[in-house]
Amino acid sequence: MENLWVQIGNYGFPMVIAFYLLVRVEKKLDDLTVAINELARTLKPPG
């Protein structure tokens, strides 16, 4: 049973942190994509 807790501590916590950071980065990338698309529409020459 102690070995199970050690394995959870060694692998579970870093996996949770990595997943959390991945979700945060994905949201920021989505926001950046929207901003780039808006900039492209703004800079598009008329016509």
Provide the percentage of residues in the chain whose pLDDT is more than 70. 98
Q: Is residue 39 part of a domain?
A: yes
Q: What's the average model confidence in pLDDT over 14-21?
A: 90
Q: Got the DSSP string for 7-32? A: HIIIIIHHHHHHHHHHHHHHHHHHHH
Is residue 29 one of the residues assigned to a domain?
yes
Mean pLDDT of 10-33: 91
14, two tokens: 């870093």
Q: Per the domain annotation, does 37 fall within a domain?
A: yes
Total domains present in the chain: 1
Domain that holds residue 32: 16-47
38 part of a folded domain: yes
Q: Specify the pLDDT at position 31.
A: 95
Q: pLDDT grade, residue 11 (50/70/90)?
A: confident
